[in-house]
């Protein structure tokens, strides 16, 4: 508005290094055509060598991320997903659960947290790399919404998140394909109704 370019050292001074942990902020925005959150998840999953721990309240990954998770299991990576046993949006919850079949058949372990609404959004890979932030594993979050995540490359930080993750598993129910297949017919009907809108969630 003033014609002054806000770009010199007074606005962006050089900062001294603090601490010994490598971190990065990853922001994505459809306004600028940036989908870094999507790439963040996809690259972290395809790079995993030992383990992937995911906590996410809206677990509706697209086909590419679904394939990446199942392929990770095929190459010997332990993949564990923690989702809510109680959903805050009935339609999204139904759409999410409706897609669990291929993951369970592919060897991905899925747990549903029971005591309360779970809204944690994090991923830990190989016990050394972690990300927490606002991004969900769904199309809306990775392609429509403004999102920001903190990425941390540090074994100590990753270990703390994994410890918290393991603690939450104690209060969760592990799904089996058989249990998922025998869910109430009313749930299956709602899942079918929501199927056309799944890509908008």
User: Domain map of the chain by residue range?
Assistant: 22-200
CB 26 within 8 A of CB 52: no
Tens-place pLDDT, residues 144-180: 778 899 999 999 999 999 999 999 999 999 999 998 8
Which backbone phi and psi does 43 adopt, to 5 degrees? -70, -35
Asked whether the predicted pLDDT for residue 201 surpasses 60, the reply is: no
> What does the pLDDT average to over 25-39?
78
pTM: 0.82
Picking from 112, 120, 131, 166, the residue whose alpha carbon sits closest to that of residue 45 is 131
Picking from 148, 158, 199, the residue whose alpha carbon sits closest to that of residue 27 is 148
Quickly list DSSP for 154-168. -HHHHHHHHHHHHHH
In 18-154, where does DSSP find H-type helix?
36-47, 63-74, 90-98, 100-105, 139-143
**In terms of pLDDT, which residue wins out, 61 or 29?**
61
Q: Which two three-digit tokens encode residue 180?
A: 């998922």
CA angle 24, 53, 107 (to 5 degrees): 140
Tens-place pLDDT, residues 43-89: 999 999 999 999 999 899 999 999 999 999 999 999 999 999 877 66
- Domain 22-200 carries which CATH code? 3.30.870.10
Predicted pLDDT of residue 197: 56
Q: Which two three-digit tokens encode residue 189?
A: 């009907």
Picking from 128, 117, 146, the residue whose alpha carbon sits closest to that of residue 56 is 117
Predicted pLDDT of residue 50: 98
Please classify residue 16 by burial: count the beta carbons closer than 10 Å to its beta carbon, then call 0-12 exposed, 13-18 middle and 19+ buried. exposed
Q: Which two three-digit tokens encode residue 15?
A: 């900062």
């Amino acid at each position: 508005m003033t014609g002054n370019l806000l770009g010199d050292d007074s606005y962006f001074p050089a900062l001294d290094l603090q601490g010994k942990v490598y971190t990065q902020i990853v922001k994505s925005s459809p306004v600028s055509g940036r989908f870094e959150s999507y790439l963040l998840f996809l690259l972290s999953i395809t790079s995993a060598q030992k383990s992937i721990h995911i906590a996410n309240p809206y677990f509706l990954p697209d086909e590419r991320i679904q394939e990446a998770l199942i392929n990770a299991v095929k190459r010997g990576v332990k993949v564990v997903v923690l989702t809510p046993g109680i959903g805050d949006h009935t339609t999204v919850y139904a759409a999410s659960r409706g897609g669990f079949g291929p993951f369970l058949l592919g060897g991905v372990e899925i747990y549903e947290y029971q005591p309360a609404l779970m809204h944690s959004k994090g991923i830990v890979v190989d016990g050394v790399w972690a990300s927490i932030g606002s991004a969900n594993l769904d199309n809306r979050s990775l392609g429509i919404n403004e999102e920001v995540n903190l990425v941390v490359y540090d074994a100590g930080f990753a270990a703390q998140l994994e410890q918290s993750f393991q603690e939450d598993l104690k209060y969760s129910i592990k799904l089996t394909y058989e249990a998922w297949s025998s869910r109430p017919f009313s749930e299956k009907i709602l899942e079918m109704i929501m199927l056309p809108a799944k890509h908008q969630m």
